[in-house]
Amino acid sequence: MADGHTLTATGTTALAHGDYLDDPKGLMSWLTTVDHKRIGIMYLWSITFFMIVGGLFAMLIRIEHLTPTRTIMDAEMYNRVFTLHGAIMVFLVIIPAIPASLGNFALPLLLGAKDVAFPRINLMSLYLYWTGALMALGTLFMGGVDTGWTFYTPYSTTTGGGVTLMVFAAFVLGFSSIFTGVNFIATVHKLRAPGMGWFEMPLFCWGMYSTALIQILATPVLGITLLLLAMERLFHIGIFDPQLGGDPVLFQHFFWFYSHPAVYIMILPAMAVMSEVIPVFSKKTIFGYKAIAFSSVAIALLGFLVWAHHMFVAGMSIYAGAIFSFLTFFIAIPSAIKVFNWIATMWEGSIELRSPMLYAIAFLLVFTIGGLTGLFLASLSTDVHLHDTYFVVAHFHYVMAGSNLLALLAGLHYWWPKMFGRLYNESLARIGCVLVFLGFNATFIPQFIMGSRGMPRRYYNYLPQFQALHVASTIGAMLLAVGLFLTLANLLASFRRPKGMVDNPWGGKTLEWATSSPPPTENFEGQPVPLHGPYDYRAVPAPIGSEVHTG
């Protein structure tokens, strides 16, 4: 492992076929493909589409809150809008965002594999995603859903509208997520390149593996919970309805037994992207490889023991509350270990502030704010006051939305040349990054302040004293939207450039950079073998542009 530049037996010239984007051509060849790269790309566009839809609902919420009373919609409509915003963003955007798009694309390449273990199940996952997405949108024609994305009983078993359809949509999307998880675990176990041991894998793979563990262990419980909820609505089976002798708090336990681990489905992939981007742009070996790898697994497992911290005020035993509070503090440790390791990686590295690295640094700031504000909510006594306020809203947007989004954009800017063989405009990408970062903070810092002053979440009206902060938050959201559209336009504009000009623009050392950009359908010519570790920058670092070739 001491030296070595390239990792494959062959170079990147004259492929037998075209790259995976063109070989074969045609819409049908995309819709029936089993190629993990194409499935990843189709997931990417689908997620982008639903992020815009969910974002539009978010903008409606923010515009409504420009005034303390009615601005553009009535209270019932407001309930449906925030429910759809939450449900679309959680189930259709954040959960699949990184694993199903970047993960599907990059994981087999990073492992030196030809595909994921079960390519057809991978395609099925995408079709289930589309089915679930159509069902979720179908609720719009059934009077919408007004329960919030958490579907709390007994309200969700008594209200009208398309709750049952939405619940089945989430059920179907759960299977889509499970299929991705099964694929990733089997792929990591069995399709690593010869000679690549568990601790020679790039850390992205550890992150995806831990994510997949949660997808497999938590999602079925959500599946059965939603099925029970649907049965309660259709047959009044009695399990969650107190009038029939059931227990509505049981629903909350079931729901959070999935949905708390699910927030780690959202954040672990973000952390996985960080572990790739930061060493590459620091030109330095990752600090604390094993600590990062094991902390991913620790987060995945500890994540199952903290669900009831969502229920401190739901009438739970105070002793149970104390235990869940302690465990919640405990899970902050592996997250902090990761942050410290990334910072230590950057220490004395030769940092290049390219757009992926800018996003990574933005992630570190946003995730740290999100993590530290979580401690207030983990403490029993402060949570009693902050529960169901905008403080909670701001906290979970920092960890779920902001961190996930910034990491997705970091990974997207990092792997964009790999995906499409083209570079975007770097200056515009940096401006986009700054706008997204500022816009995000401007949206949610006012919400922290409002929440700590008692502004309750999910309220249609509010006291006039909160108006200035609400307006500030809305302006921030508009800034965020401008930044995101600029970023999207900048990425799309790269398609006007010629393809195949950049094989390894960042000088990355992991296996995906050892093949051409975009890669051929079969990923590599022959079986690649890693000749050095994934973060081995001890050799003379390749300067930017040195590996650009023409044609």
Partner 1 sequence: MSQATTTVHAEHDHPQFLQHHFNDMGQQFDATKIGMWLFLVTEVLLFGGLFVGYGIMRAKHPEAFMAAHHQLNRTMGSINTIVLLVSSFTMVMGVWAAQTSRKKLLILFLVLTLLCACTFLGIKFFEYQHKFEEGLLPGSFYTHQGDTVPGQFMFFSFYFMMTGLHGIHVLCGMGAITWLLRRAIRGDFNASYYGPVDLVGLYWHLVDMIWIYLFPLMYLIS
The residue ranges that bind partner 1 (CB under 8 A) are 113-119, 121, 178, 181-183, 185-187, 189-191, 194, 216-217, 219-221, 223-225, 228, 231-232, 235-239, 244-247, 250, 254, 527
Residue 114 Cβ vs partner 1, minimum distance, rounded to whole Å: 4
Compute, in degrees rounded to 10, the torsion defined by CA atoms 417, 420, 426, 429: -110
Nearer CB in complex with partner 1: 23/388:
23
Residue 191 Cβ vs partner 1, minimum distance, rounded to whole Å: 7
Asked if 476 contacts 439 with a C-beta cutoff of 8 angstroms, the reply is yes
Nearer CB in complex with partner 1: 16/540:
16
Cis previous bond, 24, omega within 30: yes
Nearer CB in complex with partner 1: 34/449:
34
Contacts with 366 (C-beta within 8 Å, 6 or more apart), sequence order? 398, 402, 403, 406, 437, 440, 441
Nearer CB in complex with partner 1: 206/240:
240
Q: CA-based angle 239:240:246, to the nearest 5?
A: 60
Q: Would the CA dihedral through 142, 92, 238, 81 be positive or negative?
A: negative
Nearer CB in complex with partner 1: 19/115:
115
Structural tokens at position 277: 């981007």
Nearer CB in complex with partner 1: 187/355:
187
Structural tokens at position 522: 């079969």
Residue 235 Cβ vs partner 1, minimum distance, rounded to whole Å: 4
25 CB neighbour count, 10 Å cutoff: 10
Residue 76 Cβ vs partner 1, minimum distance, rounded to whole Å: 27
Residue 96 Cβ vs partner 1, minimum distance, rounded to whole Å: 17
Nearer CB in complex with partner 1: 206/448:
206
CA atoms within 13 A on the CB side of 32: 7
Contacts with 396 (C-beta within 8 Å, 6 or more apart), sequence order? 263, 370
Residue 440 Cβ vs partner 1, minimum distance, rounded to whole Å: 35
Cα(407)–Cα(415) distance, integer angstroms: 12
Cis previous bond, 154, omega within 30: yes
Residue 230 Cβ vs partner 1, minimum distance, rounded to whole Å: 11
